Amino acid sequence: MVSVCSSVTLYGSYGTSEINWYTREKNTTGRDLAQNIQRHLAEYEGLKNLKKNESINRSHKTQEVKPRTRIYFDAAFDSRTFRSATCLVGWDLKGNLMVLKTVIHRNVPSPFAGEAYACLEGTKLGSSLRIQSVRLMGDSKTVIKKCQATSTDKSVIGAIIRDIQKKKADFQELIFQYIHRSENSYAHRLAKIALEKEEDTYLKGKELEGHAFASVGTWPKEPD
């Protein structure tokens, strides 16, 4: 047995933090001292790894909720036939046109109902594509505000709004954003064409190439 009085300093990987461990003067063996040092080193390394993993997890969560897809929606309404046409234009994170969809609705009571149906179709499209984070963008301020609200909507389009709210469970993040009509001109134009033709359309990927709907006008990379 030997009498040992020592000080061991453990430095962090960047030299900015340190742990001082003092063994008070006592009777101990060299083997005991070595085992104690190894134990404290292991605890310290474990603490560093834990903090590193927490940092990685926070970064990963931040990336997961970043909106990766924008879906622009608009509707055209025919007051004579009470039909409306939904148009959805989806852009990926790189600003590439990724999906185009038009849907004809019948027995639509008003233009506001047509816009609400268009927004609902947008949530359905995002869900079917299994996109976890979506920004739905439309030029109907009334519909956007109702979708953003957390209270129960009791208006004439309340049932449609409630269906939209239920779809939130399909996403990690679903954002409703109002935009000016000028920013939504492509979806608006295609909705009018779809209503005139009374045609449902669903195109994505290579199917977009050369199709009459996808080639209307000059498509930008992605509206700002």
DSSP category for residue 102: E
The pLDDT-based confidence of 90 (bands split at 50, 70, 90) is: very high
Residues 107-158: tens digit of each pLDDT: 999 999 999 999 999 999 999 999 999 999 999 999 999 999 988 888 999 9
Task: Give the relative orientation of helices 158-166 and 141-148 as an angle to the nearest 10 degrees.
Answer: 50
- Return the pLDDT at 95: 83
Domains and CATH numbers, the chain: 2-64 (no CATH), 69-208 (3.30.420.10)
Region 171-193: what's the mean pLDDT?
94
Local confidence band at 23 (pLDDT 50, 70, 90 cut-offs): very low
The 8-class DSSP code of residue 21 comes to E
Please, which residues have CB within 8 angstroms of residue 123's CB and are 6 or more apart in sequence? 134, 136, 164, 167, 168, 170, 174
Strand 69-78 versus strand 133-138 pairing type: parallel
Q: Are 64 and 132 in contact (CB under 8 A)?
A: yes
- pLDDT for residue 86 is more than 90: yes
Average pLDDT, the chain: 79
What is the sign, positive or negative, of the torsion defined by CA atoms of 90, 74, 143, 220? positive
Percent of the chain residues topping a pLDDT of 70:
64
pLDDT at 47: 62
Report the C-alpha gap between 168 and 174 in whole angstroms. Answer: 6
Query: How far is residue 114 from each of residues 37, 41, 84, 111, measured CA to CA in Å?
Result: 72, 66, 6, 5
Q: Which two tokens stand for residue 58?
A: 């926070």
Supply the pLDDT for residue 9: 44
